[in-house]
Structure 1
Amino acid sequence: MRTVTNTIPQAFAAAVRRDPTAPLLTWYDDASGDRTELSGATLDNWVSKTANLLVDGVGLGHGDIVALVLPPHWQTAALLLGTSVAGLAADLGEEPQPVEAVFTTPDLVVRATAWSALDRYATGLLPLAMPLRTLPEGYADYVTEVRNYGDHFRGGAPVDPADLALSGPYELSHSDVIEAATERAAELGIAAGDRVLVDTAVHPEAADWLLAPLVAGASVVLCANLDRAKLESRITSEKVSVSLA
């Protein structure tokens, strides 16, 4: 019997509990050759560190907004989930607005400047979570800074289903996000226990590549710059049951 979840942190906690050692998110970039596999426990570690960075490092509080001007990536997942776990709202970079912090890549810095924020972080989304050699002016390195924070997040008040989860053109509460993700999982044919391969070029929205599988109880094989010649062998090697490519 599946646990009923009404918030993003609840959905993520349920995913980790199912099997902390099993792959929850596997990342491929066929342009760089990068493959990163994160178990539930490993992703939870990154999520907790991110939440601690946002609360203890940046000093954000319940309901503050964090802009994520980032492409699909496992670090983007850690940042989105960490933001939610910390009781903050995520702006997924659709429409500029005043926010408390912004996270982006060097390639998207020009776009990210449209978001007004005092605290700015960049990540190269590099293999092995390597730090950037050269930081954009005015930015701190996310992967360097986040490693200084604790592996467990001890937040204040629990996240409420009515709390704001996603901010931007459409403001959605946690219950709204869970409902939409559940409906989207059904549309995409994702069910509990599935191993879902997602081509980021086809499904660039976090609702598809992260939230729908998470809420459904599935794991993800997230592929950027997908080499179609490798698709069938990857489906076999990763034991993929649903392909969104």
Structure 2
Amino acid sequence: MTTPTLPAEVLARMVASDPGRPRLTWYDDGPGPTAGERIELSARVLANWVSKAANLLQDDAAAGPGTTVGLDLPAHWRSLYWALATWSVGATIVVGAAAAGADVLVTDSPAAAAGHGGDAVLVALPALARSHPEAGDAPGAVDEARELATHGDLFSPMSDPEPGDVALAARGDDTAYGHLVVVDQSWGPAPRVALAGDLEQVLRQSLAAWAVDGSIVLMRSDRADLADRLASEGVTLDARETA
């Protein structure tokens, strides 16, 4: 029987393979304070964000196997490091409407953070944010932009998940850790994959690309013609839901 690959192992392999190669590129063409952003994270930088977020979850929220972490965020570069951090501590990600009922809520909504009965992390989406502009409306929540940098750059889990533990709960279906990383052989080795759309699907496709030493270009865009961008980014597969 083949031993399943866990998300934390996918991240570790990327760092070992080529720590400086871009693994996550983000474009935001939508309206709002993040319009026009382009963010690029190497494996090393992505792992650093993941370690800090995982340390926050483990140290501040006592998150580990059996803990549910609601991701009330759009498909965004910040969503991806919070997802990897959740899987690094061995907890369960909950997306969709049920996210509000999770033990820990990671959200960009001050109202959702203020109304959550457990631990809450309030995320400011702009790349250069130093605090959430409405953090005062959720005084019990962790202001990620202000506090994440205080957490360690290295992470060591207190407990590792079992392959049968639930890694992702979405749309009423649970996916175990042992079945979360699914490789699509048709993508070939080291693909560069364009992604957009639903958070659950983006999480799954990101893992699939990274598991074969690939990278992703994640976009929020309503532009019809992105051929020049995809070409300049060296995209080998356009897997956007809107494509």
Q: TM-score higher than 0.5 here?
A: yes
1:124 aligns with: 124
What is the identity, as a one-letter code, of the residue corresponding to 2:5?
Answer: N
CA distance in 1, matches of 2:197, 2:212: 19
1:139 aligns with: 141
Q: Choose the corresponding residue for 1:52, options 51, 55, 60.
A: 55
Determine whether 1:215 maps to 2:215.
no
What is the identity, as a one-letter code, of the residue corresponding to 2:213?
Answer: G
Deviation at 1:106, TM superposition (A): 2.3
| Secondary structure of the corresponding residue to residue 155 of structure 2 | coil
What is the identity, as a one-letter code, of the residue corresponding to 1:122?
Answer: L
Determine whether 1:190 maps to 2:187.
yes
Once the two structures are aligned, what percentage of the paired residues are identical?
30
| Secondary structure of the corresponding residue to residue 228 of structure 1 | coil
Q: Which runs of 4+ in 1 moved over 4 A?
A: none
CA distance in 2, matches of 1:242, 1:129: 32
Deviations 1:187-241 (A, max 9, x none): xx4232111111337x862345422222333200001124234x12211211111
2:26 aligns with: 27
Deviation at 1:96, TM superposition (A): 5.0
Equivalent residues, number: 232
**Residues 16 and 41 of structure 1 are in contact (CA less than 8 Å); yes or no, is this contact kept in structure 2?**
yes
CA distance in 2, matches of 1:176, 1:67: 20
CA distance in 2, matches of 1:199, 1:166: 19
Deviation at 1:75, TM superposition (A): 0.7
Root-mean-square deviation (CA, aligned residues, Å) is 2.5
Superposition pairs for residues 62-81 of structure 1, below 5 Å? 62-81=65-84
Deviation at 1:93, TM superposition (A): 2.7
**Residues 165 and 173 of structure 1 are in contact (CA less than 8 Å); yes or no, is this contact kept in structure 2?**
yes
Determine whether 1:154 maps to 2:153.
no
Q: Choose the corresponding residue for 2:231, options 217, 236, 239.
A: 236
Deviation at 1:105, TM superposition (A): 1.2
| Range with greater deviation from structure 2 (209-218 or 219-228) | 209-218
What is the identity, as a one-letter code, of the residue corresponding to 2:54?
Answer: A
